[in-house]
Amino acid sequence: MSQKLIKTFIDSIPHPEKGQKFYRDSEIKGFGLRVGTTSKVYIAESKINGKTIRVTIGKHGIFTAEQARNQAREVLLKMAKGINPNDEAKEQKARSMTLQNVFQDFLAARKALKHRTIYDYKRIMSTYLADWNSKAIAGITKDMIAKRHAELGKTSKAQANLTMRFLRALFNFAAGQYEDSKGQSLILGNPVKRLSQTRAWYRVQRRQTVIKPHELEPWFQAAMSLKNDGLSQNRETIRDYLLLILLTGLRREEAAGLTWNNIDLKSKTLKVINTKNHLDHTLPLSDFLYDLLQERKTHAINEYVFPKVSGNGYIVEPRKQMAKIIEQSGVTFTIHDLRRTFMTVAESLDISAYAVKRLANHKMNNDITAGYIVADAERLRKPMQKITDYILKCAGYKPTTTTADLPAGTLQNDA
């Protein structure tokens, strides 16, 4: 339908009950009106490289017919030159996207991110990049990257590298997420590459700290002294959480997120389904851990083995209680040190390298022999018990009752 689009005619057009109808202007080819069930919108359309491109100008009532016609002339002139106004709009939007906008889109797209990973990313955004959150991502330059990396490195080289690796991931995401109609990225280049080009990344030695055998006794005594009281009702939960990591080598998030659905007390196993390498990880329970979990089960308040006091969700990193253990024992440690301690003990006991890797849930993609070895939970039971026995012996512990209810006074030296 072709007729000059003027106010009186447009006002007389009824809204369809469903769908939409188009009305073409008789004076300017490509200028038209799209009428929907609730709105009337001016448009301009033409072909670019054989493909019909439609551009929205604005709603009738906000634009007059004459204003829309003048705007359509400008749009159609660009399209005649092969310029897609929609791409210009997308580019303008992409260039105005702030770092915070990109981060929110990143989180929405990466649905499989672990709770702890999201927590770490948010901490970086709010701590090390707080003054950049409202900056347009396209305005973050290589010089800014180099300067911020150097500034952060004065306090922590590891944190400086971590922040920039995270920022590099955001730029890579933006480059793939924001594209024009031809599939060309609207974010050109990743400024974090400057650090590689100038070899500015810090050399950070991987932590190798463990709890040494002679430190296990004071550490164990301090951990076992954590008891619930009127001030804190989750000390025993934290105690059991730390003990489980020490005696299984699980990563902190794997242990914290354990649910009772994945604890089988009949078969004396636990299973982690949300692992770093995305492979389910089933471990046998040593006698100590079996007693610990059996006792915890009698006091379960939600689906998590290590719940928050509120009963909503599971515990986060227990820094306050860890600080108490450090102060009382004189043994400085991180949660990952407990995993390293488990691994170090396993290797020191001449346990098969394949069993050690299975216990740690490390992939063995490049080891052909490993592919022929079936190491189920039962085959790992003896090595697991051996590791637990050694750690408890070093800790001076002799079981006399259920471990979860063990008073600190029962710890003994195994002379």
Residue 188 banded pLDDT, cuts 50, 70, 90: confident
Q: Which domains does the chain have, with CATH numbers?
A: 7-83 (3.30.160.390), 96-197 (1.10.150.130), 213-410 (1.10.443.10)
- Least confident residue range of 100-104, 121-125, 387-391, 394-398: 394-398
pLDDT value at position 287? 94
Reduced to 3 states (helix: H, G, I; strand: E, B; else coil), residue 288 is: helix
Q: What is the pLDDT of residues 381-406, one digit of tens each?
A: 999 999 999 999 999 987 644 444 44
pLDDT value at position 177? 87
Reduced to 3 states (helix: H, G, I; strand: E, B; else coil), residue 269 is: strand
pLDDT value at position 357? 86
Q: What average pLDDT does the structure give for the chain?
A: 86
Whole-angstrom CA distances from 65 to 20, 49, 59 are 19, 29, 10
Mean pLDDT over residues 304-326, rounded? 90
Q: What is the pLDDT of residues 269-280, one digit of tens each?
A: 999 887 766 778
pLDDT value at position 264? 94
267, 376 in Cβ contact below 8 A?
A: no
Mean pLDDT over residues 97-124, rounded? 90
Whole-angstrom CA distances from 380 to 272, 345, 348 are 15, 15, 16
Q: 7-16 long-range CB contacts below 8 Å, 24 or more apart?
A: 7/64, 7/65, 10/40, 10/60, 10/65, 13/40, 15/40
pLDDT value at position 116? 78
CA pair distance 399, 401, nearest whole angstrom: 6
Mean pLDDT over residues 196-221, rounded? 89
Q: What is the pLDDT of residues 260-303, one digit of tens each?
A: 999 999 999 999 887 766 778 899 999 999 999 999 999 899 99
Asked if pLDDT for residue 186 goes beyond 80, the answer is no
Name 283's bridge partners: 270
Compare 133 and 360 and report the one with higher pLDDT: 133
411, 399 in Cβ contact below 8 A?
A: no
Q: Which two tokens stand for residue 392?
A: 């408890």
State the residue for tokens 């949300």: 274
pLDDT value at position 189? 86
Name 138's bridge partners: none
pLDDT value at position 19? 92
Name 264's bridge partners: 269
pLDDT value at position 364? 54
Q: What is the pLDDT of residues 222-255, one digit of tens each?
A: 999 999 887 888 899 999 999 999 999 999 989 9
Residue 154 banded pLDDT, cuts 50, 70, 90: very high
Q: What is the pLDDT of residues 348-370, one digit of tens each?
A: 998 888 888 888 887 655 554 44
Question: Considering the chain, what percentage of its residues have pLDDT values greater than 90?
Answer: 60
Closest CA to 177 of 82, 110, 129: 110
In sequence order, which residues have a C-beta less than 8 Å from that of residue 138 and are 6 or more positions away? 94, 95, 96, 97, 187
